[in-house]
């Protein structure tokens, strides 16, 4: 369709999770509790790590950044969802929708890269302990974190530009509770086959690639631990198992959602809850609050 022959869409209608008022109130309560847990748990972790000199190792440095990313990631969608569920206002301006899409992929992909860096940190600590201090020096940690943010920005700006170049002239109803590339692309008034494949190659391959690197890292750690079983290594094995669980909760739904062109399978907005809300809520429990060092530091902070 020629670009001069359509009326540009100025807002999108997010249908949300349900039209039933009782279910909307239930979802509002659940999202509010989950968002509050994400904020409180991750803020507590950040304050604890920043104030306790004993938590100065690279692992806790990376965990502190993971907590900050989780707060940002959940804040991209949760406040807007809570307002929509409580007020029933489902319209979102075109510019606001594009901004939500950009920041969702910016922070989300940065978290994937950071989780990959954290797996490399654990691999180095367990499989190459003599070189750990040299490899994961503070300068190297800052460089790796900066690379995660830069990689997330490049990924997100590509996704956003692919959407912005599409014409939107007719339907503006999104069958989800937030703006994302796949449901938006389906509303375009043009042939989007090439765009869909480019987006699948971008988001889907990033998710799959990071996941495979994570699986490879934890497989090597498991092989190392299995050969030298001891009390300390059993603890490392337990830690890696919990990390694999929360990584799976984040990456598998993302791979299912993004590693395919739009329209090949129906989009499931309930699957999106896993990686936009549930996974950030689980990260503090799995990565940090299972650590005795962190719990002891929190207890000291509480007594002060």
**CATH code linked to domain 11-298:** 1.20.1070.10
Contacts of 196 (CB under 8 A, 6+ apart): 185, 261, 262, 263
Q: How far apart are CA 81 and CA 17, in angstroms?
A: 9
Q: State residue 299's pLDDT score.
A: 76
Read off the tokens for 77: 């969608």
Beta bridge partners of 173: 13
Using DSSP, how many helices (H) and how many strands (E) does the chain show? 12, 3
Q: What is the 3-state secondary structure of 142-171?
A: HHHHHHHHHHHHHHHHHHHHHHHCCCCCCC
Q: Could you tell me whether strands 173-174 and 91-93 are parallel, antiparallel, or unpaired per DSSP bridges? A: unpaired
Q: State residue 278's pLDDT score.
A: 85
Least Cα distance to 213 among 110, 123, 276 occurs for 123
Beta bridge partners of 11: 93
Q: State residue 2's pLDDT score.
A: 42
Q: State residue 229's pLDDT score.
A: 59
Least Cα distance to 81 among 157, 30, 47, 149 occurs for 30
Domain boundaries, the chain: 11-298
Q: DSSP letters of 160-229?
A: HHHHHTS---S--EESSSS--HHHHHTT-SS--HHHHHHHIIIIIHHHHHHHHHHHHHHHHHHHHHHHS-
Instruction: Name the stretches of the chain with pLDDT < 70.
Output: 1-7, 227-239, 261-268, 288-291, 304
Read off the tokens for 120: 């490399």
Q: How far apart are CA 119 and CA 144, in angstroms?
A: 12
pTM recorded for the entire structure: 0.88
- The tens digit of pLDDT for each residue in 80-120 reads 999 988 887 888 899 999 999 999 999 999 999 999 999 89
- The tens digit of pLDDT for each residue in 55-82 reads 888 988 998 999 999 999 999 999 999 9
Q: How far apart are CA 208 and CA 193, in angstroms?
A: 21
Q: State residue 90's pLDDT score.
A: 85
What's the whole-number average pLDDT of the chain? 84
């Amino acid at each position: 369709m020629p670009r001069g022959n359509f009326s540009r869409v100025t807002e999108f209608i997010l249908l949300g999770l349900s039209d039933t008022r009782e279910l909307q109130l239930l979802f509002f309560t659940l999202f509010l509790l989950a968002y509050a847990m994400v904020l409180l748990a991750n803020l507590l972790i950040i304050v604890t790590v920043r104030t306790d000199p004993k938590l100065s190792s690279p692992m806790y440095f990376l965990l502190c950044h993971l907590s900050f990313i989780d707060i940002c990631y959940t804040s991209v969608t949760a406040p807007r969802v809570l307002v929509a569920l409580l007020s029933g206002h489902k319209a979102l301006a075109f510019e606001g929708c594009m901004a939500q899409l950009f920041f969702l992929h910016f922070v989300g992909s940065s978290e994937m890269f950071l989780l990959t860096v954290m797996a490399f940190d654990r691999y180095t600590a367990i499989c190459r302990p003599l070189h750990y201090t040299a490899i994961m020096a503070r300068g190297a940690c800052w460089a790796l974190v900066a690379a995660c943010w830069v990689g997330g920005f490049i990924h997100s700006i590509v996704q956003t530009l692919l959407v912005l170049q599409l014409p939107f002239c007719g339907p503006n109803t999104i069958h989800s509770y937030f703006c994302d590339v796949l449901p938006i692309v389906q509303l375009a008034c043009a042939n989007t086959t090439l765009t869909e494949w480019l987006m699948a190659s971008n988001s889907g391959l990033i998710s799959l690639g990071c996941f495979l690197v994570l699986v490879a890292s934890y497989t090597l750690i498991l092989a190392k631990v299995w050969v030298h079983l001891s009390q300390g290594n059993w603890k490392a094995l337990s830690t890696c198992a919990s990390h694999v669980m929360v990584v799976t909760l984040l990456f598998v739904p993302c791979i299912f959602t993004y590693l395919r062109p739009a329209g090949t399978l129906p989009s499931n907005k309930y699957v999106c809850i896993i990686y936009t809300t549930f996974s950030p809520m689980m990260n503090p429990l799995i990565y940090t609050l299972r650590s005795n060092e962190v719990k002891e530091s929190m207890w000291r902070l509480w007594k002060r």
